[in-house]
């Protein structure tokens, strides 16, 4: 066996037969010795039985029947545990992922170009079709947040393949939807290759992603922090630079007003500009370790913009905490600065100084 492809299912009776036909046709046409392992979570629509019957037609088809809806990620891992081959893969059952791309993901590993291949919607040639604005925004935000940890352009995709040895003895947390990010973070892979795919929103059935998946995703992101000590280090450097900036601000305000006899409101504006500039330079060369010259002006403008947005957020939270939660305004401000600091850091890390 060359390839073990897991297809997790929950209520996919309208899709699964069509998908399996296409997959096995691909296997045959391109001489891939592949097996498909469907992991069904006791679908109330009887997807499980349907697939069981299809085993008469497809001899390399297996089914795992689980008791109830235990989650996408754990289904994938459970399927892989049965896998006979050294290359593991996964794709959705709802025809959103193009079976025609199986061969490309597979060959890249087979030929040794990579040990981990990802069907990517966010590189040239890839895209998403048929999503509404809300779903697009959610996905964009999730993808952006994942950039804290990885340069993979589509760490949210549900279509990928990996060499078995890369996850051997790796403890994976099978919560939620985002098994791919989990593997990117913890796997022992050496070379990732992204291959463009066009994701087409399902025509039949309903998506199972919900608010629960969003929370478990945020929880996952927090849990990854210890894996990237570097991010924590950058955050503390960034906060420290902010502290220096505050001191610079006060010193300029004082000296312009007292020694240069400038009107204090004007001094305050000058102090803001000087402090933002010194913050920018320190963050550029010290926190995020860039060359001073590299896109100086463009980044300076971005940095300034993020600073202003963070200031607005600061004021907003100061107001909310004080007026609506009845917190003493100085305490509110301490909390609001915390919120603004995180936004400021993320804005600059993921946008101004993105790698």
Query: Does residue 39 bind ligand GDD (CB under 6 A)?
Result: yes
- With beta carbons less than 8 A apart as the criterion, state whether 284 and 300 touch: no
- With beta carbons less than 8 A apart as the criterion, state whether 142 and 222 touch: no
Q: Please give the backbone phi and psi of residue 189, each rounded to the nearest 5 degrees, phi first.
A: -70, 155
Query: Does residue 55 bind ligand GDD (CB under 6 A)?
Result: no
For residues 89 and 39, what is the distance between their CA atoms, to the nearest angstrom? 13
Residue 311 sits at the vertex; the CA angle it makes with 308 and 314, to the nearest 5 degrees, is 155
Of 207 and 255, which has the nearer Cβ to ligand GDD?
207
Of 139 and 332, which has the nearer Cβ to ligand GDD?
139
Of 136 and 294, which has the nearer Cβ to ligand GDD?
136
For the CB of residue 40, give the shortest distance to ligand GDD in the complex, in Å: 6
| Positions 199 through 238 that interact with ligand GDD (CB under 6 A) | 202, 207-209
For residues 297 and 303, what is the distance between their CA atoms, to the nearest angstrom? 10
Binds Mn ion by CB under 5 A, chosen from 9, 96, 139, 352:
96
Query: Does residue 102 bind ligand GDD (CB under 6 A)?
Result: no
| Positions 201 through 230 that interact with Mn ion (CB under 5 A) | 202
Query: Does residue 78 bind ligand GDD (CB under 6 A)?
Result: no
For the CB of residue 208, give the shortest distance to ligand GDD in the complex, in Å: 3
| Residue whose token pair is 């939807």 | 177
Local structure of residue 91 (DSSP, 8 states):
-
* Residue 72: HSE in the Cβ half-sphere, 13 Å Cα cutoff: 23
For the CB of residue 190, give the shortest distance to ligand GDD in the complex, in Å: 24
| Residue whose token pair is 């002006």 | 297
Surface-to-core class of residue 351, CB atoms within 10 Å of its CB (0-12 exposed, 13-18 middle, 19+ buried): middle
Query: Does residue 8 bind ligand GDD (CB under 6 A)?
Result: yes
Query: Does residue 92 bind ligand GDD (CB under 6 A)?
Result: yes
Binds ligand GDD by CB under 6 A, chosen from 37, 51, 75, 248:
75
For residues 177 and 210, what is the distance between their CA atoms, to the nearest angstrom? 10
Surface-to-core class of residue 190, CB atoms within 10 Å of its CB (0-12 exposed, 13-18 middle, 19+ buried): exposed
- With beta carbons less than 8 A apart as the criterion, state whether 11 and 206 touch: yes
For the CB of residue 22, give the shortest distance to Mn ion in the complex, in Å: 16
For the CB of residue 38, give the shortest distance to ligand GDD in the complex, in Å: 9
For residues 189 and 167, what is the distance between their CA atoms, to the nearest angstrom? 8
The residue sitting closest to ligand GDD, measured at its beta carbon, is 158
Local structure of residue 93 (DSSP, 8 states):
S
Of 85 and 201, which has the nearer Cβ to ligand GDD?
201
Binds ligand GDD by CB under 6 A, chosen from 3, 4, 6, 12:
12
| Positions 126 through 165 that interact with ligand GDD (CB under 6 A) | 139, 156-158
- Range list of H helices, the chain: 16-29, 47-54, 72-81, 102-110, 133-146, 179-186, 211-224, 229-258, 264-282, 296-324, 329-347
For the CB of residue 238, give the shortest distance to ligand GDD in the complex, in Å: 30
Binds Mn ion by CB under 5 A, chosen from 26, 40, 94, 115:
94
Of 99 and 245, which has the nearer Cβ to ligand GDD?
99
Residue 75 partner contact from Mn ion, ligand GDD, none using kind-dependent CB cut-offs of 5 to 8 Å: ligand GDD
Q: Which parts of this chain interact with Mn ion (CB under 5 A)?
A: 94, 96, 202
**Contact positions vs ligand GDD (CB under 6 A):** 8-10, 12, 39-41, 69, 71-72, 75, 92-94, 96, 139, 156-158, 177, 202, 207-209
């Amino acid at each position: 066996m060359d390839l073990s492809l897991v297809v997790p299912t929950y209520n996919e009776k309208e899709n699964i037969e069509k998908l399996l036909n296409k997959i096995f046709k691909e296997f045959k046409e391109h001489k891939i010795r592949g097996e498909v392992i469907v992991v069904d979570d006791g679908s109330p629509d009887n997807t499980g039985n349907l697939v069981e019957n299809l085993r008469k037609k497809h001899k390399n088809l297996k089914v795992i029947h689980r008791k109830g809806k235990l989650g996408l990620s754990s289904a994938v891992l459970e399927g892989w545990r049965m896998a006979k081959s050294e290359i593991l893969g996964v794709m959705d059952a709802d025809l959103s992922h193009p079976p025609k791309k199986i061969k490309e993901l597979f060959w890249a590993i087979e030929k040794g170009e990579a040990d981990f291949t990802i069907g990517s919607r966010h590189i040239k040639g890839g895209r998403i079709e048929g999503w509404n604005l809300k779903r697009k925004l959610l996905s964009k935000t999730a993808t952006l947040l994942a950039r804290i940890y990885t340069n993979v352009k589509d760490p949210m995709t549900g279509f990928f393949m990996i060499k078995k040895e890369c996850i051997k003895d790796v403890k994976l947390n099978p919560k939620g939807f985002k098994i791919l990010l989990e593997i990117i973070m913890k796997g022992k892979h050496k070379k990732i290759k992204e291959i463009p795919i066009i994701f087409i929103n399902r025509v039949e059935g309903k998506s199972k992603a919900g608010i629960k998946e969003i929370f478990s995703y945020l929880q996952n992101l927090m849990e990854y922090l210890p894996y990237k000590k570097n991010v924590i280090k950058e955050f503390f450097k960034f906060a420290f630079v902010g502290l220096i900036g505050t001191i610079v601000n006060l010193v300029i305000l004082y000296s312009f007003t007292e020694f240069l006899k400038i009107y204090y409101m004007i001094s305050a504006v000058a102090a803001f500009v000087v402090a933002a500039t010194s913050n920018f330079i320190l963050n550029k060369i010290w926190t995020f370790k860039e060359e001073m010259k590299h896109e100086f002006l463009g980044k300076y403008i971005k940095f300034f913009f993020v600073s202003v947005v963070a200031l607005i957020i600061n004021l907003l939270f100061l107001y909310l905490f004080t007026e609506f939660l009845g917190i003493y305004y100085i305490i509110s401000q301490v909390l609001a600065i915390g919120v603004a600091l995180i936004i400021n850091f993320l804005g600059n890390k993921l946008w101004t100084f993105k790698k």
